[in-house]
A and B are shown apart, each in its own frame.
Chain A
């Protein structure tokens, strides 16, 4: 049945106590010749005794923007001139112009949620009956062709299966931002093709992100597009760089980002998908095909994307974002281009000075023990036991960073002998630290068991290479 242009229209569902309660009233209105149409969302035989139109496909419910049932709408010349939802005797009497309806019913009773706005349904109906505002090319995959195989065949993936980016899923992802779908975010390397919010949303869907992750994805992308990050070089280098996203602030807890057990590993959807979304953009928009514009000699497992939250449970430890200009209480991402990870074990160290010395030894192995004096970066992730030892000794972040930095120092002549580092300036015995100022980031993550830390190996660093970039996460 078409939606009548004039008269009263009622939307109901049987699975609603209030709808069942007002069923006799609907028959009363129909008997008086006022009710022009009844649409049922779940059972066209309800309410009994009435000519009910089947709206199980929810088209009329969608067109009338039905959020609550029962809903009584008054229409005149094709336009809505009034509506009531749920049961409120005064409002129903006002809308119908009848002062004697609803006798014997309670004065009011709330309605129930419309099936048209049940989780996931609104976007499906938008696609089916409305305008999506999406501009990307739509590709139909007809049964029995498998969309998963088709996406792999088209080269749209990182080798793992991806979530099919249906228009409804993309619309749901776009609920995660206030930005318009056609807003331009920047040019994605290596090809330098333009990325819109819509394209970012499509790739975020494919990566497996939830819509509430999307602000983190957009902040990470914005950070990666900062010229200081050298995104182009990172995504095409023979060293095989991936994208590491470190998240601070309340959004990490809100979206379930793991900072504890297995923080750098699997098992947590937000951790597994946020950086992956960026990597998929680099593949799909930037055209980074291995052996093509992605020139990675070996690559590493982290090229699927690495994302984790810093453990901010110790109030004595300043979170990374706060050391990089983000006010306390705000959420932020820090992106870091990385070429692999290695784990450190220092279980024989019992106090902070020795612990720092052990860390310095481990950090010296990044790329090559003889490579020092700046030009490369790293993130040092301290597990819970490291944090406990420093915490019990009363060492704040600054003291830890300074001690570790100092512990990497080695005499210049030895470095030259080991690495043919003839370009190192200075006197032969002069101590040279592994990293330049600001090129070693220290964060806390992981569980409390085991004296373990992890080094996330950077790429060429500093102004001539890739620098970490921090951005606040905006809703």
Chain B
């Protein structure tokens, strides 16, 4: 009755690494903004509007798209965005 019960841990037994977020840029001047369409319905409309607004301010924009919202972005795409852009806006919702 007083025995202890031993349980085996069902988790991965690993803790995630907490990384500090990048500080947002003070200004967008001279930066390249990536616009990532995750391929949800009408996400492109939102990004079209953003591209126009960035364009009015003279900010360089590059457009990208995931093949599908249902799966993770391909590694190559993530690497390309990281290489060519300073910040990214991701159109998430329908």
Contacts and interface: CB of A to CB of B under 8 A. Distances in A.
A191 B16 CA distance: 9
Given A230-B70, A465-B70, A136 B9 contact: yes
Contacts of B1: 143
A460 interface: yes
B3 to A, nearest CB: 7
A142 interface: yes
Nearest to B93: A238
Contacts of B13: 136-137
Which of B6, B8, B10, B72 has the most chain A CB within a 10 Å cutoff?
B10
Given A232-B72, A464-B68, A164 B7 contact: yes
B60 interface: no
A143 B8 contact: no
Contact of B70 (A167, A203, A460): A460
Contacts of A454: none
A366 B91 CA distance: 26
Interface string A182-199: 000000100101110001
Given A464-B67, A464-B70, A465-B70, A136 B8 contact: yes
A140 interface: yes
Contact of A280 (B10, B69, B71): B10
Given A139-B9, A165-B7, A170-B8, A230 B2 contact: no
Nearest to B3: A143
A156 interface: yes
B12 interface: yes
Interface string A437-475: 000000000000000000000011001111000000000
Contact of A199 (B6, B12, B68): B12
Interface in A370-416: none
B7 A134 contact: no
B91 to A, nearest CB: 15
Nearest to A285: B12
A138 interface: yes
A166 B12 contact: no
B52 to A, nearest CB: 21
A195 B12 CA distance: 7
B6 A167 contact: yes
Interface residues of A, number: 43
Contact of B8 (A138, A191, A195): A138
Contacts of B56: none
A1 B13 CA distance: 41
Interface residues of B, number: 23
Contacts of A195: 12
B14 interface: yes
Contacts of B10: 136, 156, 165, 199, 202-203, 206, 280, 284-285
A244 B69 CA distance: 22
Nearest to A286: B12
B11 interface: yes
Contacts of B32: none
B79 interface: no
A147 interface: yes
Interface string A151-172: 1000010000000111100100
Contacts of B41: 423
A255 to B, nearest CB: 22
B20 interface: no
Given A191-B16, A284-B11, A464-B39, A232 B5 contact: no
B11 A233 contact: no
Most buried by A among B41, B68, B69, B70: B70
B85 to A, nearest CB: 24
B4 interface: yes
Nearest to B13: A137
Contacts of A459: 70
Given A143-B2, A167-B8, A460-B70, 9 more contacts: A140-B6, A141-B5, A164-B7, A166-B5, A167-B6, A193-B14, A206-B10, A233-B69, A460-B69
9 nearest interchain CB pairs? A193-B12, A464-B68, A233-B70, A137-B9, A284-B10, A136-B8, A142-B4, A465-B70, A202-B10
Interface of A: 134, 136-143, 147, 150-151, 156, 164-167, 170, 188, 191, 193-195, 199, 202-203, 206, 227, 230, 232-233, 237, 280, 284-285, 287, 423, 459-460, 463-466
Interface of B: 1-14, 16, 39, 41, 67-72
23 contacts: A136-B9, A137-B8, A139-B6, A139-B7, A140-B4, A140-B5, A141-B6, A143-B2, A143-B3, A147-B5, A156-B11, A164-B5, A167-B8, A191-B16, A194-B12, A195-B12, A232-B72, A233-B69, A233-B70, A285-B11, A287-B12, A464-B70, A465-B70
